[in-house]
Every structure is written in C-alpha cells, then in structure tokens.
Structure 1
Amino acid sequence: MTGDALALAPPSRAVRLGSIARRALVSEIRVYTSIARAIARRPAVPPGGTGIAYHRPLLTILIVFIALSAVEIPIVDLIVHRWPAVRIIMLIVGIWGVTWMLGLLCGMLMRPHTVGPEGVQVRSGLESEVSIGWGDIASIAISRRVDEPKQRRVSDGEYAERVQDETNIEIELEHPIAIRLPGVHPKGGVHTVDRVRLWADDPKLFLDAARPFLLAG
C-alpha cells in the first residue's frame, strides 16, 4: 500500500476511540479552566494581542439552553424524589450538564480569535485552535459568505471556521500550510490549506488589529 493510500485509509476503531477519549478529556478540562478564566477575567489572549469575539450569533441560544437546563434540575428532582439513588444520579447529571453548558459559553468568551505579534489564532469553542504565522499570510480581507449547512470545515484547500454557516473574514496564504483540527480523518486530523475563512463579531476590529503586522511584514 502506498503512502497516499495509507493517508486516505480510514482510521482503525482503536484510533477513533482514542481520539474521542482525548477530545472528551480536553473538552472537560477546558470547561473548568474556561470558567476559572471567566471568574478571573483573564481571556486567553497573548501579550500584545487583540481578542476578537465570535460568540454573538450563538449567545442567545446558549443562554436559553443554560436557563432551561437549570430549571430542569428542580423539576426532575421533584419527579424522582421518592427514589434516593435515582435522585442523586439525576442531580449529579443535571449539575454536570449545566456546568458543561456554562463552560462552553465561557470557552467561547475566554478563547476568542486572536491577532498578535506571532500571528493569528483561529478558535472555536473548547477545542479548535489553528495558529497562522504572519510569514504565511498574504492578505486579510472582510468578505462575508454564507455556506450550505453541514459543510465540512476543510474543502478544496480551504479551511472555514463558520458560525451559523457564515464567515466574514478571508485570509489568503502565501503558500499551502498544514493545520491540525480536532478528531480523526475525515472530520479532523491534519489538512493542507491555502485559504482560511472565519467569523468575527467585529470584522473591522480584526482587520485593524492585523494591519500593523501586515504592513510591518
């Protein structure tokens, strides 16, 4: 079997299970570190960098889910209060669920996209983080685009980190670079791309933050 065929071969069940376990562990850790960062008001932005939010289109949905999950805890507790063992299990699950949703929200707030001296970091929620150095970037422009639902993040050499199927920043690269996404092939793993698109709540701020570094290069 050639190297190309090996690269395209589907991962084994052990590899997939290992990847899922690692992702679950990373997400669980970042839930609590994101909550801690939110309490300390310390977003994950490098020194000299600018954080660019991407949570605005999802904020209302997340708040509604958190509120519903919190209200559900006492309701379920009333239903199962006759069975202590079930009551304890449901209480633990309910509290964990609310905590996880809070962590997801805090992850989006505390892990924004960043533009700094080392380059651009494209982030999404608790997991995804792709770093691009200034030497790899040819240009950055505001360009709004709406894709079809459920499109892959990487397609035809383009990486798109969408929010509700939309992007509004386009980064053209000087040459193809390798990026790593969470998961295993075909949804995750290492990909070679020559263009990056992402959503920024304030695309002008993103462009303004990047301009001095682009001009300096």
Structure 2
Amino acid sequence: MSALQRIRLVAAHEGRTAVSLGLWAARRRNGVDGGAEGFGYARAQASLLYSLVFVSLIETAGMSVLLSGFPVAHLITLVIDVYAVLFVLGLQAAAVTRPHTVGPAGLRVRAAARLDLRIPPELIASVRRDIRFPAAKPADDVLELPIAGQTSVTVELTEPVGYRTLLGAPRHARTIRCHADDPAALVTAVRALLPAQEPA
C-alpha cells in the first residue's frame, strides 16, 4: 500500500472522529437502527481521557502566557493545543457514538472510529464473558480490542473473518476479544442470535 493510500486512510479516520464529535453533541449514536441494539464500551476509559483533556487545557493556558510576546509561536502552539484537545475528545466521542451492536444482521464489533467489523450470526460459534488483561502480542488469528487495558467478552467464530488495520494492512481473526460496559448483556444478546442458545 502506497504512502498516499495510508494518508487517505488516516484522513478518513480523522473524518470519522470529527463526525463523532457532532453525533456526541447531538446525543446520537451511529449504527443503532433497524432493530440493532447498542452496547457501549467507553465508560472504562472516560476518566483517563477527560484527565488528558484537563491537562491539555492547563498546558494551553500556560503556553499562552509563556509565548505572549511571540505571536507567531503563540498561534502555532495554540492551533496544536486546540487540535490535541479536540483529538482526545474525539476519541471518547467516537467510542460513545459507535457502540458494539447486535441485531438481525449479526454482531458488529467496533473500536471507536478505528475498526468496524460485521459478523453474521452464522459465523458465531460461541460467545462468553471473559475478563482478560492482554499484555503480550496476541496470536495471528486473535483480534484484541482492549479498553483501559482489558477485554471482557470473547467471541469464537466458525471461520476467520477479514478486517484491515488503521493503515490498511489485511488481517484475519477467528477469535475476537473486546470490552463492553455490560458484558453480560452483550453476551446474552449475541447468544439470542445463535440457532441453539448456549448454557449460561
């Protein structure tokens, strides 16, 4: 993949993040329609991201005072600082407005504006609540999407599904580990899609 294509992918990610800020302000969520139910995963990271925003605002005010006598440097720093604040808020907004969803079309596993993986019901072999704190690099056929360093739901598939990384590299996963604010509710909803429900 060329450098230009990678730049386009990153720009598309930035665009989705910006759109998420608008959805967040309007209290709307993406993909929660057509009978699909949303399951959030952003709660665990909220305090960390809001702390980063607070620190960034303090740093912005401090730099404004320090660079008050240097208008060009002050303007450049201000633009960078405002972008940083909006970026961090956008990360949280994207996580809030792009939840995992379960509906007639299957399971949709998401990671803010970075990943949107659709899994038809017939490919789901099992799903379970499974608290993990991943540290090492996962196996090639495992997709881990931790929030605040943890995953709480594991989905096993009957065959691998394909997806692309943020920079467009193709990958396949047969096991997907993600986080949900209410993992039990997500597991129950996914099990309801299966032909024969698994024992609780």
Mark yes or no: TM-score above 0.5.
yes
* TM-score normalised by length of structure 2: 0.88
**Residues 138-186 of structure 1: CA deviation (Å, up to 9, x unaligned):** 221112222225x25xx242222222442221111122332333224xx
Unmatched 5+ stretches in structure 1: 1-10
What is the root-mean-square deviation of aligned Cα atoms in Å? Answer: 2.0
User: Are 1:24 and 2:10 an aligned pair?
Assistant: yes
- Partner of 2:73, secondary structure, is helix
Match for 1:99: what amino acid? Answer: L
Greater share of helix:
1
Q: Distance in 2 between matches of 1:197 and 1:211?
A: 16
* TM-score normalised by length of structure 1: 0.82
Match for 1:27: what amino acid? Answer: H
- Partner of 1:213, secondary structure, is coil
User: Are 1:197 and 2:197 an aligned pair?
Assistant: no
**Residues 9-37 of structure 1: CA deviation (Å, up to 9, x unaligned):** xx6xxx2x235412320222122201100
The residue number in structure 2 matching 1:63 is: 50
Q: Distance in 2 between matches of 1:93 and 1:165?
A: 28
How far did residue 73 of structure 1 move?
Answer: 1.5
How far did residue 211 of structure 1 move?
Answer: 3.0
Match for 1:133: what amino acid? Answer: P
Q: Distance in 2 between matches of 1:216 and 1:41?
A: 36
User: Are 1:96 and 2:79 an aligned pair?
Assistant: no
How far did residue 79 of structure 1 move?
Answer: 0.6
State the identity %. Answer: 26
The residue number in structure 1 matching 2:160 is: 176
Give the counterpart of 1:208 among 182, 188, 197.
188
The answer to whether the Cα contact below 8 Å between 1:130 and 1:181 also exists between their aligned partners in 2 is: no
The residue number in structure 1 matching 2:25 is: 39
The residue number in structure 1 matching 2:96 is: 109
The residue number in structure 2 matching 1:8 is: none
- Partner of 1:170, secondary structure, is strand
